[in-house]
Structures are given as C-alpha cells and as structure tokens.
Structure 1
Amino acid sequence: MVSSYKNSIGFKINQTANRINNRFNEVLNQYDIAPEQRATLEIIKTDKNTNQKEIASILGKNKTTISRSLKALEKKGFIKRVEIKEDKRVNIIELTQKGEEVLKESAKSVAQFRQNLSLNLQEEEIKQLFSLLDKVYKNIKETF
C-alpha cells in the first residue's frame, strides 16, 4: 500500500522544519541575518579554528551552499577569513566585532524562540524527540 504524503515521516519533518525556519527568519530579520547565517556565526564563535568544510559538516550542507553563506556574511562585515601560513589552501574563519555584536544583540530573541519551540513539551518528550530524530537521521545515513 502506497501512503499519501500526509503519512510520510519525511514530509512531516520537512513541514515542521519549514515552519520553524520561516518563523525564525521573521525573528532574525531585524538583525539582517538568516537562520543558517546565525548558526554559522555561533559555530565560528564556539570553534575558534573552524573552516568552511567543518561548518558544512556541522550544518549538513554542501560546500557550495556554505561558501555562498560565508560570502554573504563577509560582505555584511560579520566574518573575515584568515589564511593559514602552513597551508595557504585553508582559511580559518573568524568573527569580526560586527559579527560578535549581531550575535549578542540577537541572543535574547534567539533564546526566546528556542524556548518557545519546547512549550507544552515535557523534558522526557524532548529527549524522546531527539532520540527519534537521531534514529531517522541514522536510517537515512545507513540506507540511502
């Protein structure tokens, strides 16, 4: 029996992700930054020696997509690329003062948004949700 899209796990996850992303875009619009760009800034702040390849891996995006995102962040003055003397093919990406400021300015809005995502969910339900999503992720990684 072929199920309809409404009964598809992928459809439901994608539908939910799209709603989250659209609402998060609205929240971050006032800071002139997209959700993926803000996530990139958080990664750069957390991992001082990160590079494009590592960011792509963490976000589950391809190198071209991350390259475009980094160029946009660089154009906005939020990041800078620093060449490694030992290997000129590799650049370390650093936050600029402006990048630090946008993270700080948007932190309260982001924290509130993240908190709102878990409204009406118990701690055990959140753990279960993460566990289920990890299983789906593993299924995709192992079977496709």
Structure 2
Amino acid sequence: MNTTFDESIGLNTSHTIRNVIRYLTVHLKEFDLTPEQWTVLKRLAANDGISQKTLAELADKDQPTVTRILDILERKNLISKKKNVDDRRSFLIHITEKGKNVQQELTPFIEDVFENQILKGIPEEKLEVYKEVLQLINQNMRDRTD
C-alpha cells in the first residue's frame, strides 16, 4: 500500500509537533511555564527592550497570542512593559531579573530534555539532514506565500 505525502509527511509532522509540545508541557510544569510562554521569554531574553510586534515576529506567533502570553508573563513578574517614547501607541517589552533567572535556569534544562530524551539515540548526521530538510520545506512554503 502506497502512503501519500499527506500521510507520510503531513500527518507525521503534525503528530511529532503535538508530541514534542505535550512532552515539553509536562517538563515545564515545575517551572510554571508553557512551551509558548518559554518561547516568548527566550526570544525576549535575547532581544530585551523590543516592541511586541517585533517579539511576535521573532517568536513566530500572531499578535493576539503574544498579547495573551505577555499578560501572563507580566503577572508572573517575568517581564515588564514600558511605553515606547518613539511611538506612544506601543510598548517596549523588557525581561525582569526574575525572568532572566528563569531563562538562565531553564535554558540548560530544556537543552538537556532535547539532547537526552527527545533526540536520544539519533545520530548527529541524521539531525543535520532533518534540520536541512525542515529549512527547505519552510523555504518552499515562504516562496509560495510571499
């Protein structure tokens, strides 16, 4: 029986993404963060003091989703919002000391989860091919939508 690309690539990709997110959700629970919150916090740590729009682009999330995540991160005292003096309609987002501490603690933890659990037993050369293929797929889709 021949499987279609929709099943062999599309379904497997979707299934893998859901499994990784579910797995990370369980492991991030002890830090009181979700994978989405972690993604935003990590991008902000590397680009402190940026606009919400820029942060949304860097985190590859839509603006309403980032707004919701930022509200949660602000309640947890991991980020702060300050008026943008150059554009009074927008805010600049800053990571707090507590946010920096969480990010610094979580980065090696997440790397360990990926290296020793999610990617365990997969040779480096296969991971390189996997990353190259993902980049090509994403480029193909960008070329079609731009």
Class of the TM-score when normalised by the shorter of the 2 chains: 0.7 to 0.9
* Number of equivalences: 143
**Equivalent residue for 2:138?**
137
Ranges in structure 1 where 5+ consecutive residues have no aligned partner: none
Q: Percentage identity across aligned positions?
A: 23
**Equivalent residue for 1:119?**
120
Which consecutive aligned stretches of 4+ in structure 1 deviate over 4 angstroms post-superposition? none
Deviation at 1:112, TM superposition (A): 1.0
Deviation at 1:6, TM superposition (A): 3.1
Relative to its length, the structure with more strand (as a share) is 2
**Equivalent residue for 1:39?**
39
Q: What TM-score do you get using the length of structure 1 for normalisation?
A: 0.87
Deviation at 1:4, TM superposition (A): 8.0
Which has the higher relative contact order, 1 or 2, with Cα contacts under 8 A spaced 6 or more apart? 1
Kindly indicate whether the alpha-carbon contact (under 8 Å) linking 2:78 and 2:99 is maintained by their aligned counterparts in 1: yes
Deviation at 1:28, TM superposition (A): 0.5
Q: What TM-score do you get using the length of structure 2 for normalisation?
A: 0.86
Kindly indicate whether the alpha-carbon contact (under 8 Å) linking 1:27 and 1:109 is maintained by their aligned counterparts in 2: no
Take 2:42 and 2:3, find their aligned partners in 1: how far apart are those partners?
42
Kindly indicate whether the alpha-carbon contact (under 8 Å) linking 2:79 and 2:93 is maintained by their aligned counterparts in 1: yes
Deviation at 1:118, TM superposition (A): 2.6
**Equivalent residue for 1:77?**
77
The farther-off stretch of 107-116 and 61-70 is: 107-116
Kindly indicate whether the alpha-carbon contact (under 8 Å) linking 1:74 and 1:80 is maintained by their aligned counterparts in 2: yes
Kindly indicate whether the alpha-carbon contact (under 8 Å) linking 2:45 and 2:103 is maintained by their aligned counterparts in 1: no
